[in-house]
Each structure stands twice: as structure tokens, then as C-alpha cells.
Amino acid sequence: MFNLRSKKKKNSMQPVARKLVTISEPKSVVLEQFRTIRTNIKFSMPDEQLQTILITSSTPGEGKSTNAANLGVVFAQEGKRVLIIDGDMRKPTLHHTFKTFNKVGLSSILARKAAMHEAVQETFIVGLDVITSGPIPPNPSELLSARTMDILLLEVKKDYDIIIVDSPPLLSVSDAQILGSKCDGSILILNTGNVDKRAVKKAKSILDSSQTKILGVVMNNYKLPTHHYYYDYENYSLAD
């Protein structure tokens, strides 16, 4: 149904986005932490094939989109073929992060208004492609629930080692729960010190009900103790 072989040419004048600290700050503690997360993901399901990973949060502003982008970068740096899909068709950010176009994207594919090869875009990161959200549709949940989304994920698995899906927050709409049921595993992003414990428990319950394996939790904006050996590095805020 879909053809992934011919892709849109990448924009040759792409500045490094501010939120991609895995590119802009190659000696930072943040980069090392993303590499650690990458390693933990690979060890989380040693006996199962793990290709599609949902990145979500309980509430807005916890850093899920920035984490999704930087995880994609460190997987690509390892030599993996990586695709990031912006599954947040309500408040998309992927096209801003990677400075790509958003005229055609996920919503276009799911509404059968475009073929996959028209939506896949190369980025300035070697080995990393993206499918942006596309035009914001009036019915995101219905589009994500459709069989077309299942077919899309099956097709991209043939061409990519890792597919990262950025979704809306779990407590806002049902989109993340729908996407979770279609992915091999999920990662919950928590904004340390700001998120309510009840929200976290409810978010976990929603993920459990979607029958997706929770690979782990990323504690975002965690402040390292001053006596930690990384004390001389700058602290970064990874907000959406």
C-alpha cells in the first residue's frame, strides 16, 4: 500500500535546533544521559523485537517532544536507521525542532491524501528521518484508531531499526492510549518536582490499559547534587 523508497529531499539550509542538545552540546551531561537511556531501552526487552517506541507524558510541558527528538538523534549516532513520527496532531512541534516542512505529514497519510514517500523527510542528522504531524485534522483520535495507522507502522518497520512516536499527553486526550496499543513499548516523561503524583499514577494506569509495555520513566529536569562529578556542567531544561 505504501512506498517508502523515494523520499523528499532534505532542506540543505538547516540550522541545528536549540532543543537538540545531543548535537549542540557534545560534551554535556545531558548527552551522556540520553546515551544511558538508549542503552537502558535496548536492555529493557532483550528477548523481544523492539522497534516502535511511544514517548509520552502525563501532562503538557514535561519535555516529551524534546526527549523524543534527542533519543532519535542518539540512536542515529549509533548507526541505527531512525524514524520519528509526530503523533501529536493537536500541538505538533517536530517540524520546528528539525526545521522541516509540515504541509504533508501523518494526518495526510491517515486521511489518504498523500502517500508515505511524500511525507517522509530527511533531516540534517545522518540516518534520521521524520514524518511530521501534517495539517491539524478535526478528528485526530479517529485517524489514529484507523487500520491505516497499523499499516503505516508495519511498513516503516521494514525500513527502519527504530521508530519513535511522539504523542500528546496521556491525561489530555485518548491519542496516546491509542498509539500505545500499537507500539512495542512506551516511555513516560516526568517533569521532576512539578508533576502531581496522582497524575503519574493515572498516566501509568492508562498505559497499562493500552497493553503496551512500559519500558521506563525519564525524570526530566532532575537537578544533580553539587558534589556530583558532573558538577561543572550546565543544567539544561528540556521542556516541550
pLDDT at 11: 43
Global pTM? Answer: 0.85
Q: Which of 192, 185, 177 is nearest to 216 (CA)?
A: 185
Q: What is the pLDDT of residues 187-236, one digit of tens each?
A: 999 988 777 889 999 999 999 988 889 999 998 876 655 555 443 333 33
CA pair distance 9, 97, nearest whole angstrom: 18
The DSSP bridge partners found for residue 220 are: 191
- Distances from the Cα of 240 to the Cα of 48, 127, 166, 222, angstroms: 31, 23, 11, 16
Q: How many whole angstroms separate alpha carbon 68 and alpha carbon 84?
A: 8
Given a cut of 70, the residues of the chain with pLDDT beneath it are 1-18, 47, 222-240
Domains with residue ranges and CATH for the chain: 50-220 (3.40.50.300)
H-state helical runs in the chain: 21-24, 29-44, 64-77, 94-97, 106-110, 116-119, 140-145, 147-156, 175-180, 197-209
